[in-house]
Amino acid sequence: MTEYHDFEEKSVEKAVEKACIELNRNRDELKYDIISYGSSGIFGLVGAKKAVIRVSVSEAAAGPISSGSDGTHDSREDNNQEDDSVSALVDEAFGPSVDNRREAVSETEESVTEPEQEQAASPAASADPKADPGVVADWVRGFLEQIIVLVSPDSELDLKVDAELIRFDIKGGDSARLIGKRGQTLDAIYYLVEKGVYKQFGHSVPIEIDVEGYLEKRRSELTSLASRLAQKAMDSGKPMVINRISAQDRRVVHLSLRDNREVRTQSVGNGDLRKLLIMPRKKNQAKKSRPRSE
pLDDT in tens, 217-263: 999 999 999 999 999 999 999 999 999 888 888 989 999 999 999 99
**Residue 221 Cα distances to 105, 158, 256, 274, angstroms:** 12, 25, 11, 19
Nearest residue to 251 (alpha-carbon basis) of 264, 239, 267: 267
Cα three-residue angle 196-96-226, rounded to 5 degrees: 80
| 46: β partners | 42
Residues of the chain with pLDDT under 50: 43, 62, 64-86, 90-128, 292-294
Please tell me the distance from the alpha carbon of residue 62 to that of residue 41, in angstroms, as a whole number.
36
Please tell me the distance from the alpha carbon of residue 199 to that of residue 202, in angstroms, as a whole number.
6
What is the maximum alpha-carbon separation in the chain?
96
Cα R_g (the chain), whole angstroms: 25
The pLDDT value recorded for residue 247 is 82
Please tell me the distance from the alpha carbon of residue 153 to that of residue 257, in angstroms, as a whole number.
39
User: Collapsing DSSP states into helix, strand and coil, what is residue 197?
Assistant: helix
H or E segment to which residue 201 belongs: helix 184-201
Cα end-to-end span (Å), the chain: 95
Q: Does domain 86-289 have CATH number 3.30.300.20?
A: yes
Q: Where are the beta strands (DSSP E) in 195-239?
A: 207-211
Task: Using the CB atoms, write b or e for 175-213: b if 16+ within 10 Å.
Answer: beebbbeebbbbbbbbbbbbbbbeebbeeebbbebbbbe
What does DSSP assign to residue 253?
H
The pLDDT value recorded for residue 141 is 93
The full set of domain ranges for the chain reads 2-81, 86-289
pLDDT in tens, 158-198: 999 987 889 999 999 999 999 998 888 898 898 899 888 88
Residue 267 one-letter amino acid: S
Please tell me the distance from the alpha carbon of residue 140 to that of residue 142, in angstroms, as a whole number.
5
pTM score? 0.52
